[in-house]
Amino acid sequence: MTTLAGYGLRLHGFGFKTLGLEKVGHLLASADSLAWSTHARHRPPMAGHTHKNCANCLPYALNWRTRVLARMPAWQQPALDAA
Ligand SMILES: [Zn+2]
């Protein structure tokens, strides 16, 4: 990742794990993962949500994103915009 980023490439972390983001997230232009959806699928829905689980739920995904970004070292936090 360091070598590729060194060439100025805008890298995308496809299916990246949170531990990987903590280590090399600062080298990525973007990343995605279905980990949040899998996590939600095996848990009851968030308070006030009426669906079976939050596997396809924007508030759950945004909470996941907030937790992931909070775990990253401050000097590594990328400027990932929520779409
Ligand atoms: Zn939900």
Using CA atoms, how far apart are residues 57 and 40, in angstroms rounded to an integer?
Answer: 9
- pTM for the model stands at 0.72
Separation of CA 36 and ligand 1 centre (Å): 12
Alpha-carbon gap, residue 26 to 2, rounded angstroms: 10
Does residue 82 belong to any structural domain of this protein? no
Q: For residue 64, what pLDDT is reported?
A: 92
**7 lies in a domain?**
yes
Say whether pLDDT at 78 is over 70: no
Share of the chain above pLDDT 70, in %: 89
pLDDT for 17 = 86
Range of the domain at 31: 2-76
Whether residue 81 is contained in a domain is answered as no
Distance 6 CA to ligand 1 centre (A): 40
Distance CA(3)–CA(45), nearest Å, equals 41
How many domains, in total, are found in the chain? 1
How many A from CA of 39 to the centre of ligand 1? Answer: 12
Give me Rg for the CA atoms of the chain. Answer: 14
3-state SS, residue 51: coil
Give 18 or 80, the one with higher predicted confidence.
18
**35 in a structural domain:** yes
Over residues 34-46, the mean pLDDT reads: 94
Distance 17 CA to ligand 1 centre (A): 22
Q: How far is the CA of 64 from the centre of ligand 1 (A)?
A: 12
Structure tokens at 74: 């401050």
The pLDDT, as a whole number, for residue 75 is 61
